[in-house]
Copies of this chain bind each other. A is one copy, B any other.
């Protein structure tokens, strides 16, 4: 027989993941983020490649508590964030990738839609949380906005995925010193990883949350 009770499943999962994290000297909060990413990917290979800026967790918590919005590159990230928990803090989640004006702008410029979407957000990213789960071009664009247009998000959760630009965009994220970040080295990443990081922090702020495994 298999486990069917959500709380038991999650507790057991975290118990199985825990030994893989013991060598990394993590804070309790970092451990929660690592565990949730590994839980969401089924891949303990994430443990050595997750990189959390020392101020990232506190910056994201503070932003959430004052009702900051989250700006994402793809709808899957928007859908995966625990909306029941997030809305308690008053923020909204924005994703423009499917908007007609973004589509037209991207076609005109010969760039990806998620890159166009980030450029169109522009100043709106100031003080907010950016969560990029798919497109390296979106992360490159946010980093350009930070560098060239002095735009200053509260934090960037940047885990774009793949073999064309993903590793480079995340290396650039780790090389800058202005914005706290959560990322993953190399080609791995994706919407589920971005969602896991966001939800881990939401759940830290909301211990009263209910059932968790879908």
Contacts and interface: CB of A to CB of B under 8 A. Distances in A.
Interface string A152-165: 00000000011111
Number of contact residues on A: which range applies? 35 or more
Nearest to A114: B214
Interface stretch (A56-64, A68-76, A86-94, A120-128): A68-76
Contacts of A12: 163-164
Interface string A117-141: 0000000000000000011110010
| Copies per assembly | 2
Interface string A33-46: 00000011111010
Nearest to A211: B113
Contact of A161 (B40, B162, B191, B211): B40
A183 interface: no
A16 interface: yes
A44 to B, nearest CB: 8
A213 interface: yes
A140 B2 contact: yes
Interface string A164-200: 1110110000000000000000111111100100000
A13 interface: yes
A164 B11 CA distance: 10
A146 interface: no
Contacts of A78: 79
Given A79-B79, A114-B214, 9 more contacts: A2-B136, A2-B137, A42-B166, A45-B45, A76-B76, A78-B79, A161-B192, A190-B190, A191-B191
Interface of A: 2-6, 9, 12-13, 16-17, 39-43, 45, 73-76, 78-80, 97, 106, 110-115, 134-137, 140, 161-166, 168-169, 186-192, 195, 211, 213-214
